[in-house]
Amino acid sequence: MVKTEVALKLNGKNIKLKAPVWKNLLDVLREDLGLVGTRGSQGAGNCGLCLVLKNGKTVDACSIPFFELMDTEIVTIEGINLIKEFPDRSLIISEVLKNTVSYRSNSIIMAVKGLFLEKTFPGDDDIKYALSGILSPVDDSNGIIQGVKKLVNMRSRRRR
Ligand code: FES
């Protein structure tokens, strides 16, 4: 089996990894590194369960081939508190996920973090876009969106 080596920054640490070129980031995280907070599903590709931050932007880990990781910076749910920008993980949990017990919680946290990294004050369309494809019919979509809006207001008040 042909393996290749890549150097990247993962959750704040510079590391080198060896894996088969065909492997994707999701499998490397879960199988090779034991970072199982990034979830996936059978028939991967559009369930939104496997969100991570790649160079500060949310991406589906299952869509990133291993060989594309060279010189990238990846942050998973396990490392999200290393990013100091508002909002931190506990604030997202308390304001956005307060009424939700969801298998998708980690992905929702990553989506919200990525949204606030990209937009200082995300609008309604930004919020809906960031969560599109992640929320399932059993999630409290309205409550989650309202929670993100509350975070926008909190950030706005802090900046005054
Ligand atoms: S596992 Fe579903 S989008 Fe990646």
pLDDT tens for 96-129 read: 998 677 789 999 999 999 999 999 999 999 999 9
96, 151 Cβ separation under 8 angstroms: yes
Q: What pLDDT, on a 0 to 100 scale, did the predictor assign at position 133?
A: 85
Pocket test for ligand 1, best of 24, 31, 42, 47 (most atoms within 8 A of CB): 47
Sheet holding 51-54, edge to edge: 13-20, 3-10, 73-75, 51-54, 57-60
Pocket test for ligand 1, best of 41, 42, 107, 134 (most atoms within 8 A of CB): 41
Q: Is the pLDDT of residue 138 over 90?
A: no
Residue 143 phi/psi, 5° resolution? -60, -40
Average pLDDT over residues 25-33: 96
Q: What would the DSSP string read from start to end of 34-69?
A: --TTS---SS-SSS-TTEEEETTEEEEGGGSBGGGG
Give the β-pairing of 3-10 and 73-75: parallel
Digit-coded pLDDT (tens) for 9-20: 999 999 999 999
Pocket test for ligand 1, best of 23, 62, 132 (most atoms within 8 A of CB): 62
Distance 5 CA to ligand 1 centre (A): 24
List domains and CATH numbers for the chain: 3-80 (3.10.20.30), 85-159 (1.10.150)
Digit-coded pLDDT (tens) for 33-86: 999 999 998 655 788 899 999 999 999 999 999 999 999 999 999 999 999 999
Q: Which long-range contacts (CB under 8 A, 24 or more apart) does 154-159 make?
A: 154/86, 154/87, 154/91, 154/95, 155/86, 155/87, 155/116, 155/120, 155/121, 156/121, 158/86
pTM of model > 0.85? yes
Q: What pLDDT, on a 0 to 100 scale, did the predictor assign at position 18?
A: 94
Can you read off the two tokens belonging to residue 3? 């393996």
122 lines ligand 1 (CB under 6 A): no
90 lines ligand 1 (CB under 6 A): no
41 lines ligand 1 (CB under 6 A): yes
